Structure formats: C-alpha cells, structure tokens
C-alpha cells in the first residue's frame, strides 16, 4: 500500500511548513489528485488519519480534488480530457494521443490555525 508512503510525505511537508510559517494546527488539507495518479483514495484517507497522529495535521479534514486526465492529440493537435489512458481523442476520434496530465498529486492548500 503506497498510500502510507504518500501520507508520510504529506506529513513531512506539513511539519516543514508548520516550522517555517509558525502554525500549530492544520484544520483542512486539500490535495489535488490526477485521474492517472494511481492513488486509492479510501486507502489514502485511512493512511492520512493514522500517519498524521501527533503532527500538526492530526484530526485535519482531508479534501481530495479530482483532476482530469489530459492528452495531446497529434491528429487534431489539441489537448483534450480523456477518461482512460488509451482512449481515442474525444474531438476527432484519432488514436495518436500522448498523455500529458492527470498523473500528479499535490497539496493545493491548507487551512491552518
């Protein structure tokens, strides 16, 4: 379950930011997660609750924001949203798509006290 490692990375970022900016507690943490990031959201939510114990984010509400999958279509030269990595272009039906987004995961923001 790599979601525990992801939660540990988030914890380190939270601790670094708490130290740098002098806040004691995170009330809400918002994550942006791309469609192709390979993150199991229920597992990440569970891992987040466990890993954040004893940190400034203990008890914080985790909000996960879905980001679409994107690809560049070389048939119509357009960036399009796709549901699956190997889907055809929804605009022209072409099959020459190169995924160029949707595999990211990042902290969007935090509400702190």
Whether residue 1 has pLDDT greater than 90: no
pLDDT, residue 26, reads: 98
Q: Are 36 and 103 in contact (CB under 8 A)?
A: yes
Q: What are the chain's domains? A: 3-68+102-112 (3.30.2320.50)
| Tokens encoding 24 | 């004691």
pLDDT digit string, tens, across residues 13-71: 999 999 999 999 999 999 999 999 999 999 999 999 999 999 999 999 999 999 999 99
Question: Residue 67: what are its φ and ψ, rounded to 5°?
Answer: -110, 140
| CA dihedral sign, ordered 51, 55, 60, 64 | negative
Q: Where are the alpha helices (DSSP H) in the chain?
A: 3-21, 41-51
Gap between the Cα atoms of 67 and 37, Å rounded: 10
């Amino acid at each position: 379950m790599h979601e525990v490692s992801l939660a540990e990375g988030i914890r380190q970022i939270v601790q670094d930011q708490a130290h740098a900016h002098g806040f004691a507690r995170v009330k809400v943490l918002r994550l942006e997660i791309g469609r192709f990031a390979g993150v199991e959201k229920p597992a990440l939510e569970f891992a987040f609750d466990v890993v954040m114990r004893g940190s400034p984010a203990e008890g914080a509400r985790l909000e996960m924001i879905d980001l679409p999958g994107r690809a560049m279509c070389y048939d119509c030269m357009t960036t399009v949203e796709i549901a699956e990595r190997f889907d055809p272009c929804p605009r022209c039906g072409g099959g020459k798509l190169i995924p160029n987004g949707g595999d990211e995961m990042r902290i969007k923001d935090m509400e702190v006290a």
